[in-house]
Amino acid sequence: MDLYNTIQAWEDGQKPTVDEMEAVLAHNDPDFNNALYEAAARVRDREFGNKIFMYGFVYFSTYCKNECAFCYYRRTNEIERYRKNRDEVLEISAGLEKAGINLVDLTMGEDPKLYADDYKGIVDIVKSVRDTVDTGIMVSPGAVSKETMPRLRAAGGDILAVYQETCNRDLFARMRLKQDYDFRMNQRVWAREAGMLTEDGMLVGIEDTPRDRAEHIRIMGDMKCSQVRAMTFIPQKGTPLQNVTPPVDYTDELKAIAVMRLAYPDVLIPASLDVEGTAGLKSRVAAGASVITSIVPPDIGLAGVAQPEFNINDGHRSIDYVRNLAESLGRREATMKEFWDYYESHRPEATLRC
């Protein structure tokens, strides 16, 4: 297989096969990788022009009942935790809207308090934020019941984000300890049935193979995800994986971004500031990303997920800093009209308008 011809064929519109994606992800030659990124960036620009969406990150509860092996916030890690109350979440969300972000990402651990009374706490927060801001709302609530999805949609949730991390069941069992693979996979099916767009994500660099990543990219498409992401594993203090040697660089993540872009030209692909901070924005945008996520205002006591404090209190994840950085990369922030136009044109047909 001539892999240069393969990526040219993808750029020309040919649908990638799993075997092709595996071969491209496995072939690590710097010149080839650059050709891959450049093809992905051209396809992104064909679909999105130079606009980029900006998402504000509101990690409003760091409590969690789970024990994911890779996660700093796993239940038994003895760390300081917080749970923002309704008024705090509203104030942060309103501030993000005023600053000009396109979407508020309401993220939480699987917090028993917010899961109580049939997930009432989550639904109430989403509804309150919907009543307060006119931005898009993404909900990242962990794995919830099927019946909760229409309630999240009716409360005002536009996108449901639940990351499988890996489609390798054995690896999943070792990463997301004591969690049900199929229940988690079904989150995105149920959310689409309820009328929400969906996001899946993969964790790169923790025993995953190019085949795993290629299969995962296929599944993301089969599930009609409108937003897909890859994030590099960063070892976290106090977890079973804290002493694992991290990937030497972010190449596998960048290649996954580029392959996802070429496989699904019109999907939203985040460049997350949560992995490498603002230093990593340029390479992720160059690989085909169309969204900047994990924008966090400084000095309000919010944490990131993969990097709990990285670049937050120095203001380098503030909207103004990120906007200037994006402009220096030739990107301009999408307007709210552009965000809603995208959203409406990708909304599942089974709809529950709110």
Residues near ligand SF4 (CB under 6 A):
64, 66, 68, 71, 73-74, 109-110, 142
Taking the least distance from each CB to ligand SF4, the nearer of 16 and 142 is 142
**Cα 221 from Cα 264, distance rounded (Å):** 7
Q: Minimum distance between the CB of residue 143 and ligand SF4, rounded to whole angstroms?
A: 8
Q: Minimum distance between the CB of residue 315 and ligand SF4, rounded to whole angstroms?
A: 25
Taking the least distance from each CB to ligand SF4, the nearer of 177 and 350 is 177
Q: Give, for 255, the enclosing helix (H) or strand (E).
A: helix 251-263
Quote the strand ranges of the chain, DSSP E: 51-61, 103-108, 136-140, 159-161, 197-204, 227-232, 270-272, 291-295, 332-333
Q: Minimum distance between the CB of residue 176 and ligand SF4, rounded to whole angstroms?
A: 6
Taking the least distance from each CB to ligand SF4, the nearer of 108 and 254 is 108
Q: Look at the alpha carbons of 282, 302, 308, 158 in this order and tell me if their dihedral is positive or negative.
A: negative
Q: Minimum distance between the CB of residue 64 and ligand SF4, rounded to whole angstroms?
A: 3
Taking the least distance from each CB to ligand SF4, the nearer of 32 and 63 is 63
Instruction: Count Cα atoms within 13 angstroms, Cβ side, for 80.
Output: 5
Taking the least distance from each CB to ligand SF4, the nearer of 20 and 274 is 274
Taking the least distance from each CB to ligand SF4, the nearer of 20 and 199 is 199
Q: Minimum distance between the CB of residue 337 and ligand SF4, rounded to whole angstroms?
A: 33
On whether the CB atoms of residues 261 and 217 are closer than 8 A, the answer is no
Q: Minimum distance between the CB of residue 63 and ligand SF4, rounded to whole angstroms?
A: 9
The long-range contacts involving 6-15, CB below 8 angstroms and separated by at least 24 positions, are 7/35, 7/36, 7/39, 7/262, 8/39, 10/39, 10/262, 10/263, 11/39, 11/42, 11/43, 11/262, 15/263
Taking the least distance from each CB to ligand SF4, the nearer of 24 and 228 is 228
Among residues 260, 224, 228, which one has the least CA distance to residue 349? 224
Q: Minimum distance between the CB of residue 122 and ligand SF4, rounded to whole angstroms?
A: 14
Taking the least distance from each CB to ligand SF4, the nearer of 110 and 252 is 110
Burial 318-343 (b: 16+ CB within 10 A, else e): bbebbbebbeeeebebbeeeebbebb
On whether the CB atoms of residues 229 and 272 are closer than 8 A, the answer is yes
Q: Minimum distance between the CB of residue 187 and ligand SF4, rounded to whole angstroms?
A: 12
